[in-house]
A and B are shown apart, each in its own frame.
Chain A
Amino acid sequence: MGAPSIGRRRFLQVSAALGGGLLIGFVWPESARAGASTALLPEGDFAPNAFVRIATDGRVTVIINKSEMGQGPTTSLCMLLADELDADWPKVGFEFAPVDPVYAHPGFGIQMTGGSTSTFAMSIPMRQAGAAARALLVQAAANAWHVEASACRTEKSFVIHDASGRRSAYGDLADAAARLTLPADVPLKDPKDFRLIGKPLKRLDTPDKVNGTAVFAIDVHLPGMLTALVAHVPVFGGKAKRIDSAAALAIPGVKQVVDVGSGVAVIASSFWAAKKGRDALKLEWDLGPNAGMSSAGLRAQYKKLAEGPGMVAREDGDPKGAMNSAAQVLDVEYELPYLAHAPMEPLNCVVDLRADSMEIWAGTQFQTVDHAAASATAGLDPQKVKLHTTFLGGGFGRRANPASDYIVEAVKIAMAAKAPVKLVWTRDDDMRGGYYRPMWHSRIRAGLDASGAIASWMHTIVGQSFIVGTPFEPFIIKDGIDGTSVEGSADTDYAFPNLQVDLHTTTVGVPTLWWRSVGHSHTAFVIESFLDEVAHASKTDPLELRRKLLAGKPRNLGVLELAAEKAGWGTPLQHGHARGIAVHHSFESYVAAVAEISFEGGRLRVHKYTVAVDCGRVVNPDTVQAQLQGAVGFGLTATLYSAITLEAGRVVQSNFHDYKMLRVQEMPQVEVHIMPSEEPSTGIGEPGVPVMAPALCNAIFALTGKRLRNLPLREEDLRS
């Protein structure tokens, strides 16, 4: 997704919690004007616009409007709020927000988690809410003690008046604070006074995640609930032609077989009955227009397109002229496959549809979109539909689908089932269900002058847009160019004197979607690998070449130098080892990595990644560490193993045996170095991923002289 903006400003609001205590929420300016501020509808024990609740027992509950899929917002957003509140950290907990416009991403206008924007977008609102609550608690104490608020201070959930030695717990002040009016201007802390922000605090969700009590959507259990599995149409765009459900319906526990468009659902009393029923279905498909599609055919088509120029996404200087007069031209192609997100928790959704209302439980990254799609599918007034966000067993973009595919499918099944129902996708469904990272083809050229310096740089990109036809079009597509297709290339930070980036947007019947690091997942691989090719062709050290091209870019240079230094770039290595380097800027963060490899017993061994990151002011350094360790593993999986391929319109891969995951024995050592920074906090979930593949392939080249331009690496690439 493009660069987030802070966008519209919300207004703070104070109210009393049901059953006592203080609530601080926000409202959008229009609802404040409409007087909606006095008409809070209580939902459970908190108002739908609340960001924090301080109960009379002192418990602080932060309402989290971001989906927790491992990247840690349940902890970091609590830290931001609790720091300003001066709350006692052990008293701080969280709840997931319901769906309400006030929880929308201020830049995109919908409630969602993606684009590594949570901390960036929520830092200020969370801190404001914490600071407002604190100000009210202080005022409540000052009123009770007949002293000036300015004479009081706060510490660990207490208001303290030093002059008189009085102290009062937040819980005891909460009711009185709820009756006060918010001061017009509540200052935020000077960062030097932060007590929590910047500390490696323990995650609040870990205890539940190690004892099995954390609830993912797949764990939701309702009385009388049925389970549904769907036999999905095996070719995208096809449909069921003939359904023989007799054998399926004969299986004990199978209740119903129903065509839901995307496939044929078997609704049963248990997963196993549904599975047996699905296996027993006799189906004939109308495979539709994509039945002849194959990866080989698409590759040939993309290669052909890349020979000609596409729509220009960026043009600086005279790239063609400079290319023509270059002393040496490098002209190569890079290819990347479709990728499945393969979150550990397969897609699933629980729906309880009643006569005039509906409740949904989903591990979603896309609350507003899914809520609207579910309401429309059921034909219900959105006010009557409640969506509960659970923990997500991984998302990586797959649970942020503008088409709400599995949500709509679940609602359709619930409409037939007339009982609460849980839709479960098996791993095969998940692997074959589409919405992949697009397949990409790049033709990239560099013209070098007589001294070996880059005179011209031209990058032609071929691939699908997953933004066309979605509500994101006006934000992301400009002059026909989908920003997510060319990000990382058209906005490169390298100073190329003459530069062209052009794009062929293809139309292919394979549904595609953002995948952790989005466009950067392909552009960084191409650019950082090709730059390495240029370095070798011009006999320049790859680090030195990047330094030159990034002159005047302190943040890129900062992480580049830091990673290089910590990895001992240029110092001798153990015999048979080699290093590769890459740096990339994405989601307003900067990451550089050095990979160290060897061939052990004739097989590639990745020993270590040294990673440096600048993501602005760090809220929780341990989360940054964890996300980058994870990015190494996620990036390596894609580099070494992952490809979704098509034959006769069907996806070949089905489970982890043919869509392999990195395993513990292949995980390298990871060293993470964080650049100290006072810039605004920016993303960390995605920006680590792009550099991992090129750093590895550059190391392989350094060792073997083999340039690897296609991902994933082939079996023979992994052998010496």
Chain B
Amino acid sequence: MAIELNVNGEKRTLDVDPSTPLLWVLRETLELTGTKFGCGAAQCGACTVHLDGHAVRSCVVPVSAVAGKKVTTIEVSGNREVSALQKAWTAIDVPQCGYCQPGQIMSAAVLLAETTTPSDSDIDACMSGNVCRCATYVRIRSAIHDAAASLKGGK
């Protein structure tokens, strides 16, 4: 079945099993491997992408539910929040193994789009679905604050 997707601003028409989770369409069909497989059960957030600006766990979203919607992944360029977060992440070296980080950044991007000055409890609420086995949480929190500040400063 042909499904039309908009991924990072590009129209893609794909012929895939409609029950396939979006995660695997991104990773295998489109070879956008920045979105990671961690649990396959909406338990870890490694597969987080944006669907029309909302964070979703792509491992549990069938691609059929995504037709006609805008999908944004870590590979996006020119996304204001994602870019600011990537800079903040780099400035303080958040990643260790790095595997969870695309998902962390995509979750945080939604928070920054909604809140200009997230509090620690805003961060807790938004980021609690993203596991980091390396436990980089201290730096994730600081980097989100840093990115928020840089966006407010219009940088």
Partners in one complex: yes
Q: Are B141 and A664 in contact (CB under 8 A)?
A: yes
Given contacts A629-B138, A656-B39, contact A391 B98 (CB under 8 A): yes
B35 interface hit (Cβ, 8 Å): yes
Decide: A663 near B128, CB < 8 A? Known: A272-B17, A626-B96.
yes
Asked if A271 is at the interface of the complex by the 8 Å CB criterion, the answer is yes
On whether the beta carbons of B97 and A656 are closer than 8 Å, the reply is no
Q: How far apart sit A426 and B24, CA to CA, in the bound complex (Å)?
A: 13
Task: Verify B127–A664 contact, CB threshold 8 A.
Answer: yes
Q: Taking the complex as formed, is A717 at the interface, i.e. its CB lies under 8 A from any CB of chain B?
A: no
- List chain A residues, Cβ under 8 A from B102: 210, 212
Which single residue of chain B is at the shortest CB-CB distance from A68?
B97
- Per-residue CB contact flags for chain B residues 68-97 toward chain A (1 = under 8 Å, else 0) read 000001110000000001100110011111
Residue in A69, A205, A216, A273 whose CB lies within 8 Å of B17: A273
Least CB separation from B128: chain A residue: A663
Query: In the complex, which of the residues A221, A394, A396 contacts B99, with contact meaning CB atoms closer than 8 Å?
Result: A394
> Residues of B contacting A206 with CB < 8 Å?
89-90, 93-95, 98
Tell me if A69 and B135 are in contact (CB < 8 A): no
A212-B28 Cα distance, complex, nearest whole Å: 14
Given contacts A202-B93, A219-B33, contact A633 B100 (CB under 8 A): no
Evaluate whether A210 and B135 lie within 8 angstroms (CB atoms) in the complex, with A216-B99, A344-B38, A664-B140 already known: no
User: In the docked arrangement, what's the CA distance between A637 and B135, Å?
Assistant: 9
- Interface status of A345 (Cβ within 8 A of chain B): yes
Instruction: Report if A507 contacts B (CB, 8 A).
Output: no
| B20 CB-CB contact with A under 8 Å | yes
B139 proximal to A (CB < 8 A): yes
Looking across the interface, which residue of chain B has its beta carbon closest to that of A422? B28
Q: Residues of A within 8 Å of B, CB-based: how many?
A: 66
- Chain B CB within 8 A of A32 CB: no
Identify the stretch in A296-304, A572-580, A597-605, A665-673 within 8 Å (CB) of chain B at 4 or more residues.
A665-673
Residues of A near B138 (CB, < 8 A) are 629, 667, 669-670
Which residues of chain A are within 8 angstroms of B19 by Cβ–Cβ distance?
272, 276
- B40 interface residue (CB < 8 Å to A): yes
B151 interface contact, C-beta 8 A: no
The answer for the CA separation of A276 and B140 in the assembled complex, in Å, is 36
A424 nearest in chain B by CB position:
B37
Q: How far is the CA of A394 from the CA of B123 in the complex (A)?
A: 24
In the complex formed, the residue of A with least CB distance to B131 is: A661
A343–B41 CB distance below 8 A: no
Instruction: Say yes or no: is A164 at the interface (Cβ < 8 Å to chain B).
Output: no
Of the candidates B17, B37, B86, B93, the one whose C-beta lies within 8 Å of that of A626 is B93
Task: Check if B105 sits within 8 Å of A210, measured CB to CB.
Answer: yes
Q: Are B33 and A655 in contact (CB-based, < 8 A)?
A: no
Chain B residues with Cβ below 8 Å from A667 are: 135, 137-138, 141
Min Cβ gap A684→B in Å is 12
Are B97 and A391 in touch, CB under 8 angstroms?
yes
Q: Does B31 contact A (CB under 8 A)?
A: yes
The listed residue (B46, B75, B136) touching A629 by CB distance below 8 A is B136
- Please, which residues of chain A bring their CB within 8 A of the CB of B128? 663-665
Write out the residue numbers on chain B whose beta carbons fall within 8 Å of the beta carbon of A205: 95, 98
Give the one of B29, B100, B123, B137 with max A CB within 10 A.
B137
Q: How large is the interface on B (under 10, 10 to 19, 20 to 34, 35 or more residues)?
A: 35 or more
Pick the contact of A210 from B40, B99, B101, B127 — CB < 8 Å? Answer: B101
Question: Is B36 located at the chain interface by the 8 A CB criterion?
Answer: yes
Which residues A237-264 have CB closer than 8 A to chain B?
252-253
Bound complex: CA A448 to CA B96 (Å): 45
Beta-carbon contact of B17 and A253 below 8 Å: yes
Indicate with 1 or 0, residue by residue over B19-49, a CB within 8 angstroms of chain A CB atoms. 1110010011101111111111101101000
Shortest A76–chain B CB gap in Å is: 13
Determine if B97 and A212 form an interchain contact, defined as CB atoms under 8 angstroms apart: no
Q: Which residues in B have their C-beta under 8 angstroms from that of A174? A: none
Question: What 1/0 mask marks residues of chain B from 133 to 148 whose CB sits below 8 Å from any chain A CB?
Answer: 1111111110000000
Given that A207-B90, A344-B46 are contacting pairs, would A664 and B97 also be in contact in the complex, using a CB cutoff of 8 Å?
A: no
A270 to B15 CA separation, bound complex (whole angstroms): 13
A209 touches B134 (CB 8 A): no
Judge whether B36 and A211 touch: CB under 8 Å: no
B132: interface (CB < 8 Å): yes
Residue of B with least CB distance to A221: B31
Check B130 for interface membership: any CB of A closer than 8 A.
Answer: yes
Collect the chain A residues with CB atoms within 8 Å of residue B52's CB: none
A97 within 8 A of B: no
Please pick, from A344, A629, A631, the residue contacting B100 in the complex, using a CB distance under 8 A.
A344
Partner of B43, one of A392, A626, A655: A655
Across the interface, do B38 and A629 meet the contact criterion of CB distance under 8 Å?
Answer: no
Assess whether B141 is in contact with A394, with CB atoms less than 8 Å apart: no
Of the candidates B24, B90, B95, the one whose C-beta lies within 8 Å of that of A272 is B24
Contact A344 B132 (CB under 8 A): yes
Within 8 Å CB of B24, what residues of A? 270-272
Q: Which of B35, B39, B98, B141 contacts A427 (CB 8 A)?
A: B39
Please indicate the chain A residues that have their CB under 8 angstroms from the CB of B27 in the complex. 219, 271
- In the assembled complex, which residues on chain A have CB atoms less than 8 Å from the CB atom of B101? 209-210
A669 to B37, CA, bound (A): 29
Chain B window 95-128, contacts with chain A (Cβ cutoff 8 Å), 1 for yes, 0 for no: 1111111100100000000000000000110011
Chain B residues, CB < 8 A from A202: 90, 93
Using an 8 Å CB-CB cutoff, how does the interface string of A67-79 with B read, 1 for contact, 0 for none?
A: 0111110000000
Complex: chain A residue closest to B85, CB-CB: A210
Q: Give the shortest distance, in Å, between A676 (CB) and chain B (any CB).
A: 22
- Report the separation of the CA atoms of residues A661 and B21 in the bound assembly, to the nearest whole angstrom: 24
Could you give, for residues 600-628 of chain A, a 1 whenever the CB lies within 8 Å of some chain B CB and a 0 otherwise? Answer: 00000000000000000000001000110
With A70-B96, A271-B24 in contact, is A346–B37 under 8 Å at CB? yes
- A342 interface residue per 8 A CB criterion: yes
Q: Is A393's CB under 8 angstroms from B97's CB?
A: yes
Could you tell me the distance in whole angstroms from the C-beta of B109 to the nearest C-beta in chain A?
12
Interface-central residue, A209, A342, A345, A669, by most chain B CB under 10 Å = A209
Using A212-B35, A661-B131, A665-B124 as known contacts, say yes or no to A270 and B97 having CB atoms under 8 A apart.
no
Asked if A33 is at the interface (CB within 8 A of a chain B CB), the reply is no
In whole angstroms, how far apart are the Cα atoms of A137 and B34 in the complex?
40
Q: Which 6 A-B pairs have the closest CB atoms?
A: A212-B34, A633-B135, A70-B96, A393-B99, A209-B98, A70-B97
* Cβ contacts A to B, 29 pairs, < 8 Å: A69-B96, A71-B96, A206-B94, A209-B98, A209-B101, A210-B85, A213-B34, A216-B99, A219-B27, A221-B33, A342-B133, A344-B46, A344-B99, A345-B36, A345-B38, A393-B99, A626-B136, A629-B138, A633-B136, A634-B134, A637-B135, A655-B43, A656-B41, A656-B44, A664-B123, A664-B132, A664-B140, A665-B127, A670-B138
Q: Given A270-B17, A270-B29, A345-B36, 15 more contacts at CB 8 Å?
A: A70-B95, A70-B134, A203-B93, A207-B90, A212-B32, A252-B17, A344-B133, A346-B37, A393-B99, A626-B136, A633-B132, A633-B135, A634-B133, A634-B134, A669-B138
